[in-house]
Amino acid sequence: MKSICAIIVFFLTTAVVQAQQPIPKEVLEGVADDLAALDRLIEEGQKTQESPPWNLGPNWVKVTGDKVPARVGGSSNARIAWNADTGEMFRVVDKVTDWYAVERPGRGPQQVAWMPASSVVPSPYPQGTQSAPSRTTELYNTLTTYVTTMRDKYKDNPYLFIGGFSVHVGVPPSVTVNFTFK
């Protein structure tokens, strides 16, 4: 990231030399602060992409058997919390070895229980529910919002403006910001 900042500083310095009128120090410091904040957002996004997701399995499971026991622990010896019927769907909270911890919202005191993987199949989100945005979508939205705010900030600046930008959320994430000097 240090080389990217050095390149940006070089371009800003070159622009000052080529400009008809010198760009005030406050403007350059503001751009530098905005780019440093953007750099921090990108670094945080990269850390998020490199960390393992909280849920490595499916987000939902569908029961394949009839009267499948949902247990208070991930063991066939654990007490049965409730029985699930064929076709019922549950949101996955965790997965350990061959057991899924599933959530059964709004039905009594025992809302999370464990079901054996042999009795359920991964399933897409059921009708009427929305999936949570992925980390990639959240990162893209965060970076796009930040750069859009930057663009709006410099829209009426007499010395420079942001002529365009692009956000890439690959590994590592990156943002290209095109400054135009007046």
Distance CA 162, CA 8 (A): 13
Q: Across all residues in the chain, what is the average pLDDT?
A: 78
Segment 54-61 shows an average pLDDT of 59
Find how far residue 141's CA is from the centre of its chain. Answer: 8
Q: Amino acid identity of 143?
A: L
Question: The domain spanning residue 102 has which CATH number?
Answer: 2.30.30.40
Are residues 43 and 67 located together in one domain of the fold?
A: no
Are residues 8 and 43 located together in one domain of the fold?
A: yes
Are residues 72 and 113 located together in one domain of the fold?
A: yes
Highest mean pLDDT among 49-58, 67-76, 129-138, 171-180: 67-76
pLDDT score of 65? 87
Are residues 168 and 116 located together in one domain of the fold?
A: no
Q: Which of 123, 150, 171 is the last residue of a domain?
A: 123
Are residues 31 and 67 located together in one domain of the fold?
A: no
Segment 114-128 shows an average pLDDT of 79
Identify whether 77 is part of a domain.
yes
Q: Distances in Å between the alpha carbon of 4 and those of 10, 39, 64, 176? A: 10, 9, 53, 10
- At 126, is the pLDDT very low, low, confident or very high (cuts 50, 70, 90)? low
Are residues 23 and 40 located together in one domain of the fold?
A: yes
Give phi and psi for 89, each to the nearest 5.
-120, 145
How does pLDDT run across 1-32, given as a tens digit for each residue? 444 443 454 444 444 445 467 889 999 999 99
pLDDT score of 1? 46
Are residues 117 and 139 located together in one domain of the fold?
A: no
Range of the domain at 107: 60-123
Identify whether 128 is part of a domain.
no
Are residues 138 and 163 located together in one domain of the fold?
A: yes
| Bridge partners (DSSP) listed for residue 165 | 177
Q: Which residue has the higher pLDDT, 98 or 171?
A: 98
Are residues 119 and 66 located together in one domain of the fold?
A: yes
Are residues 109 and 155 located together in one domain of the fold?
A: no
- How many domains is the chain partitioned into structurally? 2
